[in-house]
Chains A and B, each alone.
Chain A
Amino acid sequence: GNSVTQMEGPVTLSEEAFLTINCTYTATGYPSLFWYVQYPGEGLQLLLKATKADDKGSNKGFEATYRKETTSFHLEKGSVQVSDSAVYFCALSVAGGTSYGKLTFGQGTILTVHP
């Protein structure tokens, strides 16, 4: 089956520090990969996506590259801000058969950024 593994959290950083949140996956088929973010009291928001190998998704200073050879999709940001404090979820979906985009999520990583 499909699964996503994220690095254990929580992650605590100072403002302007470099962020990496690791994500690896296993999938039957060729997945699309996503990072979702959940700010306190809100729903999940799509942060970025990549649909094929070597694609780089980017948004709001965050980046992640689809690495098929290492089955990874690590999230990075060069300089975090206090406003980036949230829970980050890595996810995948695999097309085919009767699948209509079911997302498989990692366990989520809590990020706290201090001033």
Chain B
Amino acid sequence: EPEVTQTPSHQVTQMGQEVILRCVPISNHLYFYWYRQILGQKVEFLVSFYNNEISEKSEIFDDQFSVERPDGSNFTLKIRSTKLEDSAMYFCASSDRGLYEQYFGPGTRLTVT
């Protein structure tokens, strides 16, 4: 069964450093998403991406964040200058129809020290 994959599973970085979280969505999907979950809190929407552009973003997704689909398979989330409060589990998801099922990856745990 096709699945969404994410790398790395755990990333430790120092405050102020740039990180790139990588995702490989399901191959025939057209809609891509990033969510995050701070420990003990809700899963929060960050951004959706369709047709090679951001379609919606949350207040969390400020100028420090960017997304890219550099080739036909990868979907990346970049944080330019990490803060302590960026420590969270980051989930990538993809969908073929946009409004219904989203398929999630296993997540990347980001720890900012």
Contacts and interface: CB of A to CB of B under 8 A. Distances in A.
Interface of A: 32, 36, 41-46, 49, 51, 89, 91, 93, 95, 98-108
9 contacts: A43-B4, A43-B104, A45-B104, A93-B99, A98-B56, A99-B56, A101-B33, A103-B43, A106-B42
A49 B104 CA distance: 15
Given A41-B106, A46-B102, A103 B45 contact: yes
Contacts of B97: 101
A36 B93 CA distance: 13
B99 A95 contact: yes
B90 to A, nearest CB: 11
Interface of B is mostly: strand
A51 B56 CA distance: 21
Interface string B18-60: 0000000000000101010000011111001010000110000
Contacts of B93: 44, 103
A86 to B, nearest CB: 13
Given A44-B43, A101-B33, 10 more contacts: A32-B99, A43-B105, A46-B101, A49-B101, A91-B43, A100-B31, A101-B48, A102-B56, A105-B44, A108-B43
Interface of B: 4, 6, 31, 33, 35, 41-45, 48, 50, 55-56, 91, 93, 95, 97-107
A43 B95 contact: no
A55 B41 CA distance: 29
A98 B55 contact: yes
